[in-house]
Amino acid sequence: MNYEIESSLDAYVDSHISPEPEHLHRLTRESHLRLINGRMVSGHLQGRLLKMLTQLCAPRLAVELGTFTGYSALCIAEGLPADAKLVTIEVDDELEDFIRRQLNSSGHGDKVELRIGPALDICRGFADESVDMMFIDADKRQYPAYLMEAARMLRPGGLIIADNTLWSGHVCDPEYNDAQTRGVREFNDLATTLPGFETVILPIRDGITLLRKCIMHNS
């Protein structure tokens, strides 16, 4: 598929899904203006998908690994029940003020608790099977460790959502063997063999993997 057709399809998709809320449109623009890696923002399509998956899952407690500027956190919060909470974890403390401004300017920011620090360290403070939904979008080198920690934290019936699992196609290109690519490959291998989980990859944007923790019924 050439770039022109791909761009046309992206525009077509964006015009045929639920509209992007204005505060998220502003957040995207500000992220691109102020940060050199603004393209890391989840964006319209992924954001609407995150909201819908959250609504379908109806979690009481959700956890996000990798806040960046808060776009995905606000999409998840938008889909949360009124009395539910999202804990979002960001390792880069220089983003804290930016993120808090975005949370405070949104009608859903009161559902979000921002924690600054290494994701694995913070995750170890959650009890087994205490979380209903997790979104993973942090250091790709740590993806396998994130998955194992998420599997421990997640309750039966809960959902793990992982971003960038196709990694620009590098996962199936033997010429790429950097640490990030290896981390995503190992994550994908683990996701297909993790006991008690159902797994599917959606080829949306850079790849989104869904893992549902099965409910075990006593015989």
Q: Which residue has the tokens 């996000």?
A: 64
Length of the chain (residues): 219
Q: Is residue 219 part of a domain?
A: no
Is residue 3 very low, low, confident or very high in pLDDT (cuts 50, 70, 90)? low
Give the residue numbers spanning the domain of 197: 3-213
Please count the structural domains in the chain: 1
Q: Is residue 112 part of a domain?
A: yes
Each residue's pLDDT tens digit, 165-176: 999 999 999 999
CATH number, domain of 78, equals 3.40.50.150
Q: Is residue 39 part of a domain?
A: yes
Residue of 88, 63, 69 lying closest to 27 (CA atoms): 69
Each residue's pLDDT tens digit, 143-163: 999 999 999 999 999 999 999
**C-alpha to C-alpha distance for 162 and 194, rounded to whole angstroms:** 15
Q: Which residues face 140 on adjacent strands? A: none
Mapping DSSP onto H, E and C, the string for 75-92 reads HHHHHCCCCCEEEEEECC
DSSP string for 144-170: HHHHHHHHHHEEEEEEEEEE-SSGGGG
Each residue's pLDDT tens digit, 116-132: 999 999 999 999 999 99
Is residue 51 very low, low, confident or very high in pLDDT (cuts 50, 70, 90)? very high
Are 203 and 211 spatial neighbours (Cβ–Cβ below 8 Å)? no
Distances (CA, A) of 7 to 3, 12, 33: 6, 9, 21
Q: Is residue 135 part of a domain?
A: yes
Q: Is residue 218 part of a domain?
A: no
Indicate the helix (H) or strand (E) that contains 51.
helix 44-57
